[in-house]
Amino acid sequence: MAANASSRDVVGAPHLDCTAAEGCPHLRALATIEEIAGFPHAARSYAVAAARCGSGHCCAAQRAVAGDNVARLSAIALEMRREAQPANGDGQSHDATLLRFDRMASIDIVTDQDGNYVERRPLKLETLPSRGDSLGYLYRYWCDLRAASAWEFANIDTVHLERAGIIGRLHVVDVSSNDPADFHYELFGHAVPVPRCDVPRAASIGIWADSLLRDYNTARLLAVPRLHRIRCSLAGIRYHYTRLMLPFQNAQGRVHRLAIAIRQELGDGIKVNPSEQLGLA
């Protein structure tokens, strides 16, 4: 049963304030991505720009002004990457086998005694829109990397992340350990309406932590992208989003990182009316 509009509040993403001590969160995210990918000079370029950004609003929200700046920084970072790349291309896998993506048959729903629930609906990857969709763009970009045997995180081009419009709604998870309890976030999307945590197992709701660890570990073991529509009610807040998980391998051909991209759907980050009866409808 849905709540009346007046009885619930939009939690939404945190305010993106470029005047904070750390600087612009959008550019900081790009700096982190470059650092993870192994390009410290490019990361420093973004970090310096983030520190200098003092407009009072995140440059990501001012596309007319920031678009050229970010594109210019991306070009600088790309040039730095070219200079840092080994000439012989060592460390890249040469396995270009294409993988088949199948839909799982069931919808998974878990609940707990506190009224929390998590619903996961597997989706076919080919249903992602070919145009105008951040997840669709990112998935096709990953497929291009996979076909070229270049699906190491070091080959991620931040220009494509900008074009996808996914910065702020992108997590990067280190899944190199065989123990899912050791998985940790190297980048946590600053524009998603959930509390930041450093490790998935530390999520405040037990069934949510279990769901994250299971999904991340499955993506690691299968080494294939996975797409889910998620609906859940956690600690009095409802979330509704589509999640794309993209695996990235290391030089030994093992999946050691996941890029988790989020598309927020209608009703994401809505407080539940305390008088409303919880349900799955």
pLDDT in tens, 150-173: 999 999 999 999 999 999 999 999
**Percent share of the chain, pLDDT over 90:** 51
Q: Is residue 100 part of a domain?
A: no
Q: Average pLDDT, stretch 196-223?
A: 93
Tell me, yes or no, whether 72 and 138 share the same domain.
Answer: no
**Predicted local distance difference test score (pLDDT) of residue 272:** 76
Per-residue pLDDT of 233-276, as tens digits, reads 999 999 999 999 999 999 899 999 999 999 999 888 888 765 55
Q: How are beta strands 226-234 and 117-122 bridged, if at all?
A: antiparallel
**Looking at the predicted structure, is the pLDDT value of residue 78 above 60?**
no
Q: What percent of the chain has pLDDT over 70?
A: 70
Residue-level pLDDT at 18: 57
Residues contacting residue 25 through CB under 8 Å, at least 6 positions apart:
16, 18, 50, 58, 60, 168, 190, 191
Looking up residue 238, the CATH number of its domain turns out to be: 3.30.450
Residue 50 within any structural domain of the chain: yes
- Domain with 38 in it: 25-84
- Asked whether 32 and 153 are in contact (CB, 8 A), the reply is no
Q: Is residue 192 part of a domain?
A: yes
Quote the number of domains for the chain: 2
- Clarify whether residues 135 and 236 are in a common domain: yes
CB-CB contact of 16 with 26 (8 Å):
yes
pTM of the model: 0.75
